[in-house]
Amino acid sequence: MDDEAAIEAAHARISPVPREARPFQGQRAGIVTRLVAATLDGLVIGAVLLCGYLGLVGLIFLLNPRSFTWPELGVVFSLAAAFAVAFVYFTVFWTLSGRTYGYLVMGLRVLGIGGRRLRLIGAALRAAFVVIVPIGIVWIPFSRNNKSLQDLVLGTRVVYDWEPRPVRPKPFEAVTEDDAEAS
């Protein structure tokens, strides 16, 4: 029995999943966790937009410093830029790892049908849906499975997942004598 306890203790030290969070690993995330993650993602998107604006200001200043004035971007342009940045941000990160910065901090991951990682088209559809209908997250408390409107329509789910996903190495290809002679 002492050996089993020692093995369990060693496993507990090695596991990236916090001890308190282990019962929730793989469970669907609730509205509070997802709202906190969405807030963090909103801050990231806002920081990217601010950096873009300051870059534009710097470029305008460098091109014509004597008659420099702060550019006044219209509401339509600002909203279009915000939607574009959010769409690209969500699509890229959901495709690559299934998590944005907010999801990483909160220990969440977006999964597609069958529990697989989202592919580019699925991530882009979900990103477009989230950007166009952000209020869809409000459906979570009314759903038995903690699904947002986006999850219901696209068949995705957001789960608690603290496990890092290792990169799969490419399969080893044996070099034959014919290949060696050709090179």
pLDDT (tens digit per residue) in 98-155: 999 999 999 899 999 888 889 999 999 999 999 999 999 999 999 888 899 999 999 9
Domain that holds residue 67: 42-72
| 46, 133: one domain | no
C-alpha dihedral (52, 54, 59, 64), degrees to nearest 10: 150
Average pLDDT of the chain, as a whole number: 84
| 171, 144: one domain | yes
Q: Is the pTM of this model over 0.85?
A: no
| 92, 177: one domain | yes
Task: Tell me what the mean pLDDT of segment 40-63 comes to.
Answer: 95
Give the strand pairing for 157-160 and 108-111.
antiparallel
Under a CB-based contact definition with an 8 Å cutoff, are residues 163 and 16 in contact?
yes
**Does the residue 65 lie in any domain?**
yes
| 46, 104: one domain | no
Q: pLDDT tens digits for 23-49?
A: 778 888 899 999 999 999 999 999 999
Please state the domain count of the chain.
Answer: 2
